[in-house]
Structure 1
Amino acid sequence: MHKKMLLPFLMLLVIFTTACTAGTAGDEESKSSGGKSSKKNNVVIGIEADAATLLANTDVNYITDVQIRNIYDPLIKRNPETGGFEPALATEWKNIDEYTWEITLRKDVKFQNGDPFNAEAVKFNIDYILDKKNNSTYLSRWADIKEVKVIADDKVQIITSKPFPTMIARIADDLLIMDPGNVKKLGLEEAAKNPVGTGPYKVKEWVRDDHLTLIANDDYWKGKPSIKEATFRYIPEFSSRLSAFLSGEIDLFKNIPVDSLDNVKNNENSKVESIGSSRVNYLALNTLHKGPLQNQKVRQAINYAVDVDELLKTVLNGNGTKMTGPLSKINADYVETKDYGYNPDKAKELLKEAGYDPKDLKLTLDTPNGRYPMDSQVAQAIAAQLKRIGIDVKVQVNEWGNHLTKIQQRKAGDMFILGWGPTFDAQSTIQNLFMKDAPYSGFYDSEVEKAIQKAIPIFNQDKRKQAFGEIQQLLVDQAAWVPLWQQADLYAVNKNLDFKPKVDESMQVFDMGWK
């Protein structure tokens, strides 16, 4: 029997399409023959940026993850509609006690080069994360793993140094299985360019900052992929992705610019697919270097001065669900928290109490451009709102990779725009964004970290939710962020492509097909 520990949350799922007529965007043959061609066997996906690496278990970054999950398989996967746990390379799992988890593996699975998948491969990949010299940004999420034991060819035990109630979530959300033999033979640098997994697609060509092309693994353990070739084409700007889609150069992209939604709806070769994402977007208030943001009253003042309702209405055209704390309402551990609301007079009052004249405050705000819906426009709008109370904000627009690097290296400005997800439980967000050593943290408070460390090992679900609920309120009181919204994911899709968005935001080409 599986011990699945299904998360009790309600996913908000809205899927809508528009009526379309004949023709296939991106298919030259169908263009020339009035749409009466054979089905395509390739797909081109527009994406915001290049993968940081093609090595698994290295980069905590959606852009990397969404591409390499076509090359590698997880042990346990998420149900695309509920977020619950389902078998993949693992068939069963259970916790023997609070410190020991046992995973039973699928038999007769091979890597793309013919090497066998087994328990040694699982141990290798977890040990890879734990080895500090590999610089895996997953390490902080796995640091409580004490040992991985190979019990049999198809069975491993994971031993932890303290109770680890979210082990299955970590396995499902993080762990992908790369071939140990390939990594040992080529070394990390070459294996990052020539990866080998058990997944449905193999690397055909990777041209940095241009595209990644994958070809079908016809020996895939789940069957031959129907789409024989898939290309992720890197197009950083929203407007450029939209133009490429409307001209038929790409077949699919995520995050339609909300001010251009009608352009897709009204295109005869297109349809729109939508889903309420588990991703959260927020304005981080950086306390990791000296400056006014280390003052709690200044952070609270900024919360009062940012009008999230106005941003949702005027910049996002209503495509998002307002948040008041660090978690979205569809998170299993969500508790209702106080909304600061928009109160510029209160903001000025708090700044005065903190010893600041708003006109003397000159802050910086880092933002990506084209990673999240209207991200740089949101940043400019926030700067304009803060200007209303006298705060001067310089917006620094970054290429996505540089944006992440600045945050990781603690070189981001006083504030920065970031999103986090997909996330289904409190620990996945709170541990990774509010602890001092977490790679994408922008906030640290010793009392908050103590509370997080105390909550992490709690196995009892009710007590665990209560503990993380108290932390959520503490973070709101501390004004660690300006919470913005739960993201609404809007996909532009070729009308003949069978694609349905998933709550985990994955783009599994194996699940796609052409009509």
Structure 2
Amino acid sequence: MRGIPLSLYDPLTSSGGGQQPGSLEMSGLANLGLTVEDSAGQQRPMLAEETPTIDNGLWRVFPDGRMETTWRIRENVRWHDGTPATAGDVEFTARLEQDTEMPWRIDAAYRFVESVRATDARTVTVTWKEPYIRADMILPAVLPRHLLESTYEQDKGAFLQLRYWNTEFVGTGAFKLKQWEHDVRAVLVANEQFVFGRPKIDEIEVRFLPEVQAMIANLLSGTVELTLGNNASLEQALQVKDQWEQQGRLIPGSSGWQNLNPQFLNPNPPILLDVQFRRALYHSIDRKTIAEQLAYGYSDQADSNIHPSFAEYRYIEPQIVRYAYDPRRATQMIEELGYRKGSDGMFRDGAGQLLSIQIMATGDDTNSKPTFAVLEYFRAIGVTPDPEIVPNQRARDLEYRANFRSFALQGGQGYGPDGVRALLSTDARTAERNYVGGNYVRYMNPQVDALIGRYFTTIPFNERMGVLGQLVRHTTENLIWMPLFWRVVPTFMHNRLREVP
């Protein structure tokens, strides 16, 4: 995997600046949650015996609108140290996940939760304040109460420094930690007591490679047989493909979107808050050409946060406001806002100050290349470009990453139908929230909050699609997000590996 993870617990590793490539996959090797989402988008039970549904009686909706989901922990689930996993572990993890003093993002589901109670050693009851459509997706990872609770309650500062998070990690997954070398690798071995049976692979070494070139070198030398997460750009992967085709295969997969996040909290320049200016900038970008050039025919331009492959797409498609590439129109719209071009062809305001737009992005090709491509389109219409490439040492600096000046180019947050939760005001990355949250744009709108609440609490599908359509209309009409193209993530897999999900 590319990058240096902090822990085998993904929420801790990914607590700053977005998802760490490969962290979620590595965490899944060592630990389980109540369920996991399969390739069809269904929740498959893992620690739980069954996924709650209306039909099996484990998901109940009451006349007053409240709900209750019941989870039964499988028999013979044991932590890697041999201790039985219990409902108490689930209850403790739910308390931990809701603690605002912890660095990880709080799951939006908890705003609907009234309580999480262990009713016996193997049964957990979650009481919901109101209906919630994803009540079967709570707690994707569970932590061991017997190892963590005492320190957590006595000294939260020391809690995050525990060796448990890396060198002494204990989970319930198919593989248990044998060795953790900081900044180098993790060695995992088969868990003989795994609840689904001993895995067929005896040992896995996950290498932490800070640079893409190091990953490519390890791949070509035969040292690496499978890549985890978004390790390389598609361009880099295609260059390697021909050299590696005798050993393995390249698997291109769709994984989110490449998106421009506008800054809605004290942006610079302030004109960014004017939707006409955002529309002008968006008209100036030839997104289709960027997609063709950077995704080599594997992708297309994006017009909303919902990919056409989602079942919900056909219901919300009429609500999408689309913007054609039209640099002449873009120039006219900026002039209408009072800006004029100087002798150098660049826009200035009434005081003679250059109209400058910053885009913050990480230095990997996946983010930096579209950043520079977009900035060149801005330059072409007379807007001064200002790239801000995030230094590696500041990648997890939450305050720095939240306070980008104009735009941040990122993928991930906001993608898909449920991605609308990334616009919740309570999830904005503000100082009051220690810059933690999925609302990267820091857009705060009570009406939008109310619509999001309705979306996640409306059980009938067609009615829910009507609410989602309103949200899509609002985000595209007002350019709360500015989608560029669908992200393609290449994975390399050695020919000797089979049935790897």
TM-score, length-normalised on structure 1? Answer: 0.80
Report the counterpart of residue 490 of structure 1 in structure 2: 490
Report the counterpart of residue 351 of structure 2 in structure 1: none
CA-to-aligned-CA distance 1:264-311 (integer Å, 9 cap, x gap): 234354332425424222111111223332221111111111111111
Alignment-mate amino acid for residue 478 of structure 1: N
Report the counterpart of residue 338 of structure 1 in structure 2: 321
Report the counterpart of residue 387 of structure 1 in structure 2: 379
Question: Which deviates more, 126-135 or 115-124?
Answer: 126-135
Task: Give the superposition deviation at 1:421.
Answer: 6.5
Report the counterpart of residue 333 of structure 2 in structure 1: 350
Report the counterpart of residue 65 of structure 1 in structure 2: 24
Report the counterpart of residue 298 of structure 1 in structure 2: 277
% identical equivalent positions: 19
Report the counterpart of residue 44 of structure 2 in structure 1: 86
- Change in Cα spacing, 1:114 to 1:292, as seen in structure 2 (3 Å) is same
Report the counterpart of residue 361 of structure 2 in structure 1: 367
Report the counterpart of residue 259 of structure 2 in structure 1: 282
Alignment-mate amino acid for residue 369 of structure 1: G
Q: Is the 8 A contact 2:302 2:483 kept in 1?
A: yes
Superposed, 1:21-420 pairs within 5 Å as 47-55=1-9, 57-58=11-12, 59=14, 61-63=19-21, 64-79=23-38, 81-92=39-50, 93=52, 94-97=58-61, 98-169=66-137, 171=138, 175-184=140-149, 187-190=159-162, 191-193=164-166, 194-253=168-227, 254-255=229-230, 256-260=232-236, 261-290=238-267, 291-334=270-313, 335-336=316-317, 337-357=320-340, 358-359=347-348, 360-370=354-364, 374-399=366-391, 402-403=394-395, 405-406=397-398, 410-420=402-412
- Change in Cα spacing, 1:91 to 1:275, as seen in structure 2 (3 Å) is farther
Secondary structure of the residue aligned to 1:468 is helix
- Change in Cα spacing, 1:399 to 1:241, as seen in structure 2 (3 Å) is farther
CA–CA distance in structure 2, aligned partners of residues 106 and 391 of structure 1: 59
- Change in Cα spacing, 1:237 to 1:369, as seen in structure 2 (3 Å) is farther
Secondary structure of the residue aligned to 1:321 is coil
Task: Give the superposition deviation at 1:128.
Answer: 1.0
- Change in Cα spacing, 1:257 to 1:275, as seen in structure 2 (3 Å) is closer
Q: Is the 8 A contact 2:116 2:126 kept in 1?
A: yes
Secondary structure of the residue aligned to 1:315 is helix
Q: Is the 8 A contact 2:70 2:125 kept in 1?
A: yes
Task: Give the superposition deviation at 1:50.
Answer: 2.0
CA-to-aligned-CA distance 1:316-342 (integer Å, 9 cap, x gap): 212223210122122343322132121
- Change in Cα spacing, 1:459 to 1:155, as seen in structure 2 (3 Å) is same
Task: Give the superposition deviation at 1:462.
Answer: 1.2
Q: Is the 8 A contact 2:233 2:489 kept in 1?
A: no
CA–CA distance in structure 1, aligned partners of residues 464 and 302 of structure 2: 21
Secondary structure of the residue aligned to 2:402 is coil
Alignment-mate amino acid for residue 361 of structure 2: T
Question: Which deviates more, 134-143 or 154-163?
Answer: 134-143
TM-score, length-normalised on structure 2? Answer: 0.82
Report the counterpart of residue 476 of structure 1 in structure 2: 476
CA–CA distance in structure 2, aligned partners of residues 408 and 397 of structure 1: 12
CA–CA distance in structure 1, aligned partners of residues 131 and 120 of structure 2: 24
Superposed, 1:503-514 pairs within 5 Å as none
CA–CA distance in structure 2, aligned partners of residues 408 and 123 of structure 1: 34
Secondary structure of the residue aligned to 1:374 is helix
Secondary structure of the residue aligned to 2:205 is strand
CA–CA distance in structure 1, aligned partners of residues 249 and 382 of structure 2: 41
Superposed, 1:449-468 pairs within 5 Å as 449-468=449-468
Alignment-mate amino acid for residue 328 of structure 1: H
CA-to-aligned-CA distance 1:436-478 (integer Å, 9 cap, x gap): 5341321414133332233332222211111011101110011
CA–CA distance in structure 1, aligned partners of residues 76 and 144 of structure 2: 15
Question: Which deviates more, 317-326 or 119-128?
Answer: 317-326
- Change in Cα spacing, 1:62 to 1:426, as seen in structure 2 (3 Å) is farther
- Change in Cα spacing, 1:456 to 1:401, as seen in structure 2 (3 Å) is farther
CA–CA distance in structure 1, aligned partners of residues 285 and 499 of structure 2: 37
Secondary structure of the residue aligned to 1:274 is strand
Is it true that 1:426 corresponds to 2:384 in the alignment? no
CA–CA distance in structure 2, aligned partners of residues 445 and 340 of structure 1: 24
Task: Give the superposition deviation at 1:343.
Answer: 0.7
Alignment-mate amino acid for residue 34 of structure 2: L
Select the structure with the greater relative contact order (CA < 8 A; seq sep ≥ 6): 1
CA–CA distance in structure 1, aligned partners of residues 410 and 6 of structure 2: 17
Task: Identify unmatched segments of 5+ residues in structure 1.
Answer: 1-46, 503-515
Q: Is the 8 A contact 2:234 2:489 kept in 1?
A: no
- Please tell me the root mean square deviation across aligned C-alpha atoms, in Å: 2.5
CA-to-aligned-CA distance 1:32-74 (integer Å, 9 cap, x gap): xxxxxxxxxxxxxxx1212243346544635332221111112
